[in-house]
């Protein structure tokens, strides 16, 4: 069965897309061949005066190319042929000699948007499900079917670069404001309005659009500024944004055809490069983690979760409540002992919902409906009907055990209890429960609305269906979920602790804090380690170090200076006093008095990247050690967890993938050198040494 159905009525051809067996209309090789044949038939069909491109798949317009196709590319010649074929197909929309209306409802992404750009007229529905996006840079490539050429000509170079260089989505409302879409309609009348537009276009009418071109000097200045911003944000770790910028600039200066040549040349280089390969692997890993969780044979199916109760309405509890309501439409009840904290928590949870409205993802009615799902109080009302209770109390074992004991007196026998602990083993928390089989961990990363990762932690007695239910609900919250072993720190904090501990050690040595931050951000971390200490909160960091002593021993020795700063109330950004000075809540500069407090003398200058090497290789070593202990189920989960949970640079593919690329032997050699200079905490993990001896890899070679 074909992907397209063509029907002609009153001289208007309807090109109806529905790729069978796929959740989205992705553009595979077969779909491209069918579409090419269809466009050629339109060109020669004298009965047809105009056409309408529309999807018949529910809430989906058209996605981009099949990622699996370019993931298999091995040579520049293969990549060049693929992109040339794609360009020729999209160009045909613009050259068949008959107007085409793109009637868009649902996501219009990548090659789907490039096809729409080549159409004569674009109509989009006002549904929040309708988004327009060119996400290619996030896969390490560029829009290369004309996106870097047609988009700036249509909406102006400034708006186009904002979409192309970031991969950011535009709502249909914003799209019509910037001129990307000609008309905005309700989904119920999309067909009727598209037909009216096609008939009007068939008479020779064309929409008048304002010119978006800038003069040569203004364009040159804007491109130079954009290049500076790209380099400041990502350096040269990600070549795709710089290549896209070049393709846009070249096309505007020398014309559409020359721009397409540049697009093809850049794509053919990027698609076979290491960065793109790693980002594509990450894409596939994330996709795999969204699939149904496998249950043991004979286990009960996951439980349906529509009522959630949360104990603790502080920063984490309120954020979890807001995300749960906004993304799953579950009824959410917040509970705390103090009514003022409940009120503040509900305000925070509603803020998560209202943020969606501000971004155009939901309308006013939907916002009110989601806000109505949130309630709270100081009693246990609503807990009796809860399917899931999430404990979000402070990180103290006795307190969490007391909360679990109280919760069990209020809930039904099949309700699940999840702890949001970040470091305490779930076994210790479950030990206080009457029914430990329904207790597990759901470790949300902060800030909950932005951080994509969720660690789900089962102890040895957790029932399989309880684990599957938590994973399923986490995915419903739009989280990337990894299942981790019950051990102190789980996966993310297991890697983050030595990283932050070593950063503090370097402060004690008098290392230039801002230089250290700069090196790590240049390498690809979203923020430097010193800034991260302040962002997390020094009290939280200290608490984490104490909790992880049982795992790390003398590799995570106590820090007196950290203890002193916490005792003085210098906790970081939240108290506007920590390692940095702050003005109006914004970080200004590193506070040099910290060195005096630590008794540190300025360290001698080091060779370039020597500082980042210490921190980076500690993470590699700890990842190998933790995987060897079975903290994550496979290298894929470990790499996804490191990237989505602690900001490990995505272009590397993750710490375990990076070990493969560097070679375990080379990583061990570097760690041995660091051990000689800085101490036994850099001693290569046994699992890593074993890999080096056997010349093993975590991943099979790509075929």
Residues forming the active site? 455
CA angle 436, 439, 442 (to 5 degrees): 160
CA distance 339 to 332: 17
Q: What are phi and psi of 155, to 5 degrees?
A: -115, 5
370 secondary structure, DSSP code: H
Place of tokens 């286990």: 299
- Tell me phi and psi for residue 45, to 5 degrees: -80, 105
Q: Which of 56, 40, 48, 138 is nearest to 93 (CA)?
A: 40
* Torsion angle of C-alpha atoms 252, 254, 259, 261, degrees rounded to 10: -170
Distance CA 619, CA 612 (A): 11
Tokens (6 digits) for 508: 């004690």
3-state SS of 279-326 is HHHHHHHHHHCCCCCCCCCCCCCCCCCCEEEEECCCHHHHHHHHHHHH
Task: Give 199's Cβ-side CA count (13 Å radius).
Answer: 8
Of 365, 366, 372, the closest CA to residue 349 belongs to 372
Tokens, residue 413:
């026998």
Q: What are the tokens at 599?
A: 């008794």
C-alpha–C-alpha distance, residues 240 and 251, integer Å:
16
**CA angle (323 as vertex; 320, 329 as ends), nearest 5:** 120
| Both structure tokens of 534 | 């302040």
What tokens appear for 580 in the block?
């940095």
| Residue 150, C-beta contacts closer than 8 angstroms, at least 6 positions apart | 114, 117, 118, 256
Listed in order, strand segments (DSSP E) in 400-520 are 416-419, 439-444, 453-458, 480-485
How many other CB atoms are found less than 10 A from the CB of residue 210? Answer: 6
Whole-number Å distance between alpha carbons of 472 and 477? 9
Contact 467, 434 (CB under 8 A): no
Hey, is 230 helix, strand or coil? Answer: helix
Say which DSSP state 568 is in. Answer: T
Percentage helix, strand, coil for the chain under 3-state DSSP, each rounded to 5? 55, 15, 35
Q: CB atoms < 10 A from the CB of 451, how many? A: 18
Q: Which residues contact 392 (CB under 8 A, 6 or more apart)?
A: 310, 311, 312, 314, 316, 317, 320, 420
Q: To 10 degrees, what angle do helices 239-254 and 274-288 make? A: 120
CA 43, CA 343: separation in Å to the nearest integer?
A: 64
User: Beta 580-583 vs 586-590: how paired, if at all?
Assistant: antiparallel
How many whole angstroms separate alpha carbon 460 and alpha carbon 449? 30
């Amino acid at each position: 069965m074909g992907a397209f159905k063509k029907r002609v009525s009153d001289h208007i051809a309807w090109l109806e897309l529905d790729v069978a067996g796929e959740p989205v209309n992705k553009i595979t090789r077969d779909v491209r061949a069918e579409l090419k044949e269809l466009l050629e038939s339109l060109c020669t069909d004298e009965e047809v005066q105009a056409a309408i491109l529309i999807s018949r798949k529910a809430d989906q317009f058209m996605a981009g190319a099949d990622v699996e196709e370019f993931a298999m590319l091995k040579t520049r010649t293969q990549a060049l042929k693929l992109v040339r074929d794609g360009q020729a197909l999209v160009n045909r929309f613009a050259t068949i000699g008959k107007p085409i209306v793109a009637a868009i409802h649902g996501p219009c992404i990548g090659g789907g948007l490039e096809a729409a750009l080549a159409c004569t007229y674009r109509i989009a529905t006002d549904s929040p499900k309708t988004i327009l996006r060119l996400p290619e840079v996030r896969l390490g490539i560029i829009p290369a079917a004309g996106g870097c050429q047609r988009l700036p000509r249509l909406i102006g170079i400034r708006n186009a670069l904002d979409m192309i260089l970031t991969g950011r989505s535009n709502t249909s409302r914003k799209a019509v404001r910037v001129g990307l879409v000609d008309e905005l309609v309700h989904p119920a009348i999309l067909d009727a309005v598209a037909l009216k537009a096609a008939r009007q276009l068939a008479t020779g009418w064309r929409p008048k659009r304002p010119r978006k071109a800038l003069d040569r000097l203004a364009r040159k200045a804007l491109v130079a500024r954009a290049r500076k911003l790209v380099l400041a944000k990502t350096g040269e770790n990600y070549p795709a944004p710089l290549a896209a910028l070049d393709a846009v600039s070249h096309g505007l200066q020398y014309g559409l055809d020359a721009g397409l040549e540049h697009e093809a040349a850049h794509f053919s280089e990027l698609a076979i490069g290491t960065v793109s390969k790693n980002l594509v692997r990450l894409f596939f890993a994330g996709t795999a983690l969204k699939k149904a969780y496998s249950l043991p044979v004979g286990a009960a199916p996951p439980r349906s979760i529509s009522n959630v109760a949360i104990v603790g309405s502080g920063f984490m509890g309120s954020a979890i409540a807001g995300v749960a309501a906004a993304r799953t439409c579950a009824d959410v009840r917040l509970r705390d002992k103090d009514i003022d904290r409940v009120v503040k928590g509900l305000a925070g949870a509603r803020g998560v919902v209202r943020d969606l409205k501000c971004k155009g993802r939901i309308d006013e009615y939907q916002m009110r409906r989601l806000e109505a799902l949130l309630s709270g109080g100081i009693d246990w009302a609503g807990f009796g009907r809860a399917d899931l209770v999430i404990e979000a109390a402070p990180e103290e074992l006795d307190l969490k055990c007391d909360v679990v004991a109280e919760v069990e007196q209020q809930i039904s026998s099949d309700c699940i209890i999840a702890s949001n602990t970040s470091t305490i083993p779930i076994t210790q928390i479950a030990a206080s429960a009457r029914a430990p089989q329904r207790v597990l961990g759901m470790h949300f990363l902060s800030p909950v609305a932005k951080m994509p990762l969720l660690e789900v932690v089962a102890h040895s007695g957790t029932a399989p269906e309880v684990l599957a239910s938590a994973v399923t609900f986490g995915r419903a919250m739009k989280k990337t979920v990894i299942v981790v072993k019950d051990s102190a720190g789980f996966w993310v904090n297991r890697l983050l602790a030595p990283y932050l501990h070593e950063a503090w050690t370097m402060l004690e040595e008098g290392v230039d804090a801002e230089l250290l931050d700069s090196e790590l951000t240049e390498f690809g971390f979203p923020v430097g380690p010193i800034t991260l200490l302040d962002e997390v909160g020094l009290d939280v960091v200290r608490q984490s170090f104490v909790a992880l002593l049982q795992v790390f021993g003398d590799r995570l020795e106590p820090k007196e200076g950290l203890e002193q700063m916490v005792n003085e109330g210098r906790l970081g950004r939240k108290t506007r006093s920590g390692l940095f000075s702050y003005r109006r809540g914004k970080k200004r500069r590193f506070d040099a008095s910290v060195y005096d407090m630590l008794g540190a003398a300025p360290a001698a200058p080091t060779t370039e990247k020597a500082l980042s090497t210490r921190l980076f290789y500690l993470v590699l070593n700890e990842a190998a050690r933790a995987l060897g202990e079975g903290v994550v189920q496979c290298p894929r989960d470990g790499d996804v967890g490191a990237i989505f949970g602690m900001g490990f640079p995505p272009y590397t593919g993750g710490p375990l993938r990076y070990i493969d690329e560097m070679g375990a032997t080379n990583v061990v050699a570097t760690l041995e050198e660091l051990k000689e200079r800085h101490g036994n905490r850099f001693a290569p993990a046994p699992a890593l040494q074993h890999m080096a001896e056997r010349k093993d890899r975590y991943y099979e070679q790509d075929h």
